[in-house]
Chain A
Amino acid sequence: MNSPNSPVQSHGSRYCCFVVGSDCFAVASTGVAEVLRDGKITRVPHAPEAVIGIIHLRGRIVPVIDMRRRLGLPAAEASIGGTHLVLSLLDEWYSLLVDEMLDVIEVVDDAIEPPSRATSESSHDAVAGVYADADRLVHFLDPQRIVQSLARQREPYLQKQGASHGGI
């Protein structure tokens, strides 16, 4: 999937590319705080479904968003540990758990097209544009949209499970 020879245009913006499922995605490199493999994830009960937990990174507690779940893809095989792509967004950090990091590409804004219909339904809201690279289609994600739609999801845990436990 690597394409080290992708044409590098001048005066473009730089994007970090990564793989989730079988597709290639990218986010602006300016927002990337860190990339790390393996972080011990602590579960957060009642968090939005795609938030699989939190990790500790350089003194901060960082929520981990499983991009497979976020994009509505089946869960990865256990063997794929995943990589944390940590983004800084409005002074808060979020980790996107992706299958594999790829390269950094430089793209001029004009070359980015509106999202194609090919992008699946649930990922559509986060995809800001697509770019046809030499041998692949790169989906540009808007990190803010990824987080914002999650913020609206809340598990209805308020209904108490009172009836479920009976006598003594």
Chain B
Amino acid sequence: MNDNREFIEEFLVESGENLDQLDRDLIALEESPDDPQRLASIFRTVHTIKGNSGFFGFSKLGALTHSGEHLLGRLRDGKIQLNDRVTGTLYSMVDAVRSILHTIESTGVEGEQDFRELSQTLAAVAAEDVDLPEAAPEAASLPVPPAPADTPATLAPAVPTPVEPAPKAVTPSASPAPPVPPTSRTASVPTAPPVKPAALASDTSIRVDVGLLASILDLVGELVLARNELRNVESADPALEGVIHRINTVTNSLQEAAVKTRMQPIEHVFSKFPRTVRDLAVACGREVQLVIDGADTELDRTLIESIRDPLTHLVRNAIDHGIEAPAAREAAGKPRAGRLLLRAFHESGQVTIEVQDDGAGIPVEAVRSKAIARGLIDADGAALLPDERILQFIFEPGFSTAALVTSVSGRGVGMDVVKTNIEAIGGTVDIHSRPGLGTTVRVRVPLTLAIIPALVVRCATERFALPLAAVGELVSLRADGGPRIEGLAGADVIRVRGRLVPVVFLDEFLGLRRTTAARENGTVVLVRVDDHEFGLVVDGTQTARSDGDASPSHDSAVVSMEAASLSTIVVKPIGSLLAQLGIYSGATVLGDGGVVLILDLRGILRSTELPPQPRRADDANSAAIGVNDSFLVCRTITGRRIAVPVDAVVRLEKFAGEDLQAAGGKRLVRRGDIFTPVIDADCLLGAHAAHDDVGSVSLVVLDGRCGGIGVAVRQILDVAAPDSMLQPSLAAPGVAGTFSIGGIATELLDLAALVPTAASRS
């Protein structure tokens, strides 16, 4: 049989796909039991597997699928009717077939598992009379002799009257809940019926080895580097210039296309959920209507694997803890069937996946008291925090174990694991819940791990790349009274807007240099890993145009993120020998051909003895702002009253609307040789920019930590200190919170939110 190995492999792949199709078809059949085409499709699929298993001599598989085919035949001919028992038995058959295929894949043979009972159940179900529908679950428990003519003789004789029927097959009808029509128990409403496209796909797509795609991508990377070198060739020959230009264009397109081959629709994960949801709904005694939206959203195939488990966990939570039992739902005036929405879409270079239920929601007060009990926050702080922030405590490790799960219907079992897994691939998770109305968990993941935006820094003679996702801001050190490193109780820290952030000298950490020159005039890259913030002291960032010898800007205290080199890099593995060091997550090749290591910030954090300093949700803004700090108070063009910390402001300017220049989709204002990008303050606050003709406005130019942008406002009102504590608010985008200045409620502009804005614009 070894000669057949190649064919068997093909058979396994094909059968795996067939089984997925079978799952989908069965769910659809439950929805519309009278759909003859669906039934025919199921019959064909099972028949194909049976035929192939006969060809390869897999007798168990053959016998099992034969019984299944027989049952389906009876169903098709109208001899029996579809009910829970029939579908349950068919699902068991699909599972058994999958299990056999799995055994074949790993061992090459069918294995020792015994499926005769299941075959007999299949035969028994097939033998049931059309007049004996689901109302007779007892009949299922009785050993029904298999139909003698159609059942393979090898199956029956060994155990002619089984003492117990196959347990799996009877579970659905044996459940104490009154039988409900299958259509209302689970109904999947995919945006597009998956059957037709599958048939069409075979015409326009082919199966390609993943390794081959990877090597194509590598070769394209090589080509890009060679192209880069070619671009540096000085030539007076116009013909050569033209060729170089063409090669340049083609290379870019080729790279784009090659990257796309890594992409797969999220359908590959979502397609499993109708079945998962059905099984869970049956197991938990719920009625669930699954709605899938955006299954064609694409992301990197490696990420697809990484989100499968977290999503399954979230779906399980939603059914187990979110959606109430049908009776409870009816009592609450909701439809019996809960609605579970799985939605995926692209949003600003990321993929967002939502798992939304219309269940009972999370009891916020229980979470609040639990957080206090666990010492995560004190009672006063907890009272101040809005519900939205309180909910985030669910992601704390071990938060939802024990008490919460048992005493209050514990939503969020293992949510910390979900969060850890998503963060490991550079994503984020947040949760929103409204009592009685349901819960939404939003997962955001990058499109791909292979290509990430990064900041390239210089340290001693080397360059290193840092994933931009972890970088908060850059602070340039100055010996003459600007930001500097302070020694505090033996540990080095930097003071950032009142916060003390521990720092690591990269040159010392890597052993590149003994005496650090960066202490006086280097740059501190503030990074955030998990819930820890620390500063990485480097010599400087590589500016966009330079080739490594540029010196950091000393003009301003803070380095503009735009001036820093934000490159999009291709992450390449560095091999097990170096990966085990735990401080590099890979390497990349820069545009100048230089190879640069990518720092694993999580690993660096682990390897240093920085004081533990988890950033609590509440101190991000409020704790950092003392009452004595000064704020610039402005009125926006639409009339909102906002405040900006004075120490973030570089200068104020007045300008007329016609001074604005548009370039590359950005609005810029020119002052000498410097172009300052301009953003309307109302836009930062999530409102629409006002009208075209803004007339004369003032520009608040922020420092480099905030991207060096100019914020356009109608009028500058005052510089003053607030006379109340900041009330954090999550609801409004761009607003860190609200406090009172001069007795008037004023919104504080969220500068931390500006940094990613600035980065994405470059």
Question: Which positions in A face B, CB cutoff 8 Å?
Answer: 40, 42-48, 51, 54-56, 58-63, 92-94, 147, 150-151, 154-155, 157-158, 160-162, 164-168
Nearest CB on A from B489, distance (A): 11
Do A165 and B595 have beta carbons less than 8 Å apart? no
A58, B462: Cα distance in complex, Å: 22
Question: Is B148 part of the binding interface, using a Cβ–Cβ cutoff of 8 Å?
Answer: no
Do A168 and B572 have beta carbons less than 8 Å apart? no
Do A160 and B462 have beta carbons less than 8 Å apart? no
Do A61 and B573 have beta carbons less than 8 Å apart? yes
Among the listed A44, A56, A167, which residue makes an inter-chain contact with B584, where contact means beta carbons less than 8 Å apart? A44
Do A60 and B572 have beta carbons less than 8 Å apart? yes
A164, B513: Cα distance in complex, Å: 12
Given A51-B578, A58-B222, A151-B576: A46 touches B595 (CB 8 Å cut-off): no
Question: Is B609 part of the binding interface, using a Cβ–Cβ cutoff of 8 Å?
Answer: yes
The number of residue pairs between A and B whose CB atoms lie closer than 8 Å in the complex comes to 101
A47, B580: Cα distance in complex, Å: 10
Q: Could you pull out 8 A-B pairs where Cβ atoms are within 8 angstroms?
A: A47-B578, A51-B577, A54-B587, A92-B575, A160-B608, A161-B509, A162-B609, A165-B516
Q: Which secondary structure dominates chain B's binding surface?
A: mixed
Do B607 and A157 have beta carbons less than 8 Å apart? yes
A155, B510: Cα distance in complex, Å: 11
Name the A residues within 8 Å of B573 (CB-CB).
61
Question: Is B311 part of the binding interface, using a Cβ–Cβ cutoff of 8 Å?
Answer: no
Do B609 and A56 have beta carbons less than 8 Å apart? no
Do B221 and A168 have beta carbons less than 8 Å apart? no
Question: Is B605 part of the binding interface, using a Cβ–Cβ cutoff of 8 Å?
Answer: no
Do A59 and B221 have beta carbons less than 8 Å apart? yes
Name the B residues within 8 Å of A47 (CB-CB).
577-578, 581
Name the A residues within 8 Å of B609 (CB-CB).
160, 162
Given A45-B512, A58-B222, A168-B486: A63 touches B575 (CB 8 Å cut-off): yes
Do A54 and B595 have beta carbons less than 8 Å apart? yes
Among the listed B580, B587, B595, which residue makes an inter-chain contact with A40, where contact means beta carbons less than 8 Å apart? B595
Do A46 and B583 have beta carbons less than 8 Å apart? yes
Nearest CB on B from A130, distance (A): 27
A60, B462: Cα distance in complex, Å: 20
Do A56 and B589 have beta carbons less than 8 Å apart? yes
Interface residues of B in 470-494 (CB under 8 A from A): 484-487, 490-492
Question: Which positions in B face A, CB cutoff 8 Å?
Answer: 215, 217-219, 221-222, 461-462, 484-487, 490-492, 505, 508-512, 514, 516, 519, 572-578, 580-581, 583-584, 586-587, 589, 593-597, 607-609
Nearest CB on A from B517, distance (A): 12
Do B219 and A59 have beta carbons less than 8 Å apart? yes
Nearest CB on A from B754, distance (A): 30
15 extra interface residue pairs, beta carbon distance < 8 Å, beyond A42-B587, A61-B587, A63-B575:
A42-B595, A44-B597, A45-B462, A46-B581, A54-B587, A58-B219, A61-B574, A61-B575, A63-B577, A63-B578, A92-B575, A147-B577, A154-B581, A165-B505, A165-B516
Name the A residues within 8 Å of B491 (CB-CB).
162
Nearest CB on A from B633, distance (A): 35
A12, B219: Cα distance in complex, Å: 35
Residue of A40, A60, A155, A164 contacting most chain B CB atoms (<10 Å): A60
A167, B489: Cα distance in complex, Å: 10
Name the B residues within 8 Å of A44 (CB-CB).
574, 578, 581, 584, 597
A156, B461: Cα distance in complex, Å: 22
Among the listed B487, B492, B512, B572, which residue makes an inter-chain contact with A59, where contact means beta carbons less than 8 Å apart? B572
A151, B579: Cα distance in complex, Å: 10
Name the A residues within 8 Å of B461 (CB-CB).
43
Among the listed A46, A51, A59, A162, which residue makes an inter-chain contact with B511, where contact means beta carbons less than 8 Å apart? A46
Which residue of chain B has its CB nearest to the CB of A48?
B577
Do A168 and B485 have beta carbons less than 8 Å apart? yes
A92, B572: Cα distance in complex, Å: 12
Do A94 and B508 have beta carbons less than 8 Å apart? no
Do A42 and B594 have beta carbons less than 8 Å apart? yes
Nearest CB on B from A121, distance (A): 23
A48, B514: Cα distance in complex, Å: 19
Which residue of chain A has its CB nearest to the CB of B575?
A92
Do B492 and A165 have beta carbons less than 8 Å apart? yes
Nearest CB on B from A112, distance (A): 27
Which residue of chain B has its CB nearest to the CB of A168?
B487
Do A157 and B511 have beta carbons less than 8 Å apart? yes
Do A92 and B218 have beta carbons less than 8 Å apart? no
Residue of B492, B587, B595 contacting most chain A CB atoms (<10 Å): B595
Name the A residues within 8 Å of B484 (CB-CB).
168
Which residue of chain A has its CB nearest to the CB of B576?
A92
Which residue of chain A has its CB nearest to the CB of B588?
A61
Among the listed A45, A55, A158, which residue makes an inter-chain contact with B510, where contact means beta carbons less than 8 Å apart? A45
Name the A residues within 8 Å of B586 (CB-CB).
61
The 4 closest A-B pairs by CB, nearest first: A59-B218, A45-B510, A42-B595, A61-B587
Which residue of chain B has its CB nearest to the CB of A160?
B609
Among the listed A40, A60, A94, which residue makes an inter-chain contact with B218, where contact means beta carbons less than 8 Å apart? A60
Nearest CB on A from B542, distance (A): 14
Name the A residues within 8 Å of B221 (CB-CB).
59
Which residue of chain B has its CB nearest to the CB of A167?
B487
Among the listed B219, B508, B593, which residue makes an inter-chain contact with A161, where contact means beta carbons less than 8 Å apart? B508
Nearest CB on B from A162, distance (A): 7
A43, B462: Cα distance in complex, Å: 8
Do B510 and A46 have beta carbons less than 8 Å apart? yes
A62, B218: Cα distance in complex, Å: 14
A43, B595: Cα distance in complex, Å: 9
Name the B residues within 8 Å of A168 (CB-CB).
484-487
